[in-house]
């Protein structure tokens, strides 16, 4: 698991990758942005142009102790991170309910399924039964490649793992069965381009 800071953002080494890039590459680079930053950027773009309304849910917190200083805002003094029971992102796109989670891996060959929690698969399964559009958005960070993985592809890999098969999805499987999102200019990760191909 990647190191995660309390703001939910993944720790990213300071621009180590950016320095290696040529000037040509640089204009399309993510400049050390987290996947969350990139999705936020896309969602802002979609919201401003009224293309879709998709938000990240707040991180769930168990609050234990709060102080109420006079004449200033309440301060939480003791709280703990809780495990989310759903996915991180949902919203609506042209009448379709959208529900997904975003994951990153440093691997260049496969996506380890240990990055996905069983309750997330369960949640997306019940949402899909209600005709929601469910998927994972996966970044292979070291290669800057992005894929939208339809729930069905995830479910097949999940079942394979539970029945003793491999515990990851290979890059070849991504290339054959997932929908690649090629970085563009604005928004950089226009993932709804891929989602469009999943619609009934």
β-strand 53-56 against 89-93: which pairing, if any?
antiparallel
Judged by CB under 8 A, does residue 114 bind its own copies? no
CB atoms within 10 A of CB 19: 8
Q: Which two tokens stand for residue 177?
A: 């069965």
Kindly indicate which of the ranges 125-133, 135-143, 158-166, 183-191 contains the residues binding its own copies, using the contact rule CB under 8 A. Answer: 125-133
Q: Which of 25, 32, 44, 63 binds its own copies (CB under 8 A)?
A: 63
86 annotated as belonging to a binding site for a ligand: yes
Burial class (CB in 10 A: 0-12, 13-18, 19+), 47: middle
199 binds its own copies (CB under 8 A): no
Beta bridge partners of 104: 139
Does residue 101 have a known ligand-binding role?
yes
**Interface with its own copies includes 85 (CB under 8 A)?**
yes
- Yes or no: say if 160 and 152 are a contact pair by the CB < 8 Å rule: no
Contact 113/157 with Cβ under 8 angstroms? Answer: yes
State which of positions 18-57 bind its own copies (CB under 8 A): 47, 50, 52-53, 55, 57
Residue numbers of the site for its own copies (CB under 8 A)?
6-7, 47, 50, 52-53, 55, 57-61, 63, 66, 73-81, 84-86, 90-97, 99, 123, 126-127, 129-132
């Amino acid at each position: 698991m990647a190191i995660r800071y309390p703001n939910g953002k993944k720790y990213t080494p300071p621009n180590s990758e950016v320095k290696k890039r040529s000037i040509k590459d640089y204009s399309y680079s993510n400049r050390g942005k987290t996947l969350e930053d990139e999705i936020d950027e896309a969602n802002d773009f979609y919201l401003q142009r009224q293309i879709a309304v998709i938000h990240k849910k707040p991180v769930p917190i168990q609050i234990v102790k709060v102080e109420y200083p006079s004449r200033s805002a309440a301060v939480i003094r003791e709280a703990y991170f809780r495990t989310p029971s759903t996915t991180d992102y949902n919203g609506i796109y042209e009448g379709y309910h959208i529900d997904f989670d975003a994951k990153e891996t440093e691997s260049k060959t496969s996506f380890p399924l240990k990055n996905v929690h069983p309750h997330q698969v369960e949640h997306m399964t019940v949402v899909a039964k209600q005709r929601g559009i469910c998927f994972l958005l996966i970044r292979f960070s070291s290669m800057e490649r992005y894929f939208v993985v339809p729930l069905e592809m995830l479910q097949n890999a999940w079942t394979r793992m539970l029945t003793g098969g491999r515990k990851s999805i290979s890059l070849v499987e991504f290339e054959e069965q997932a929908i690649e999102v090629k970085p563009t200019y604005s928004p950089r990760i226009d993932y709804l381009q891929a989602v469009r191909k999943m619609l009934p």
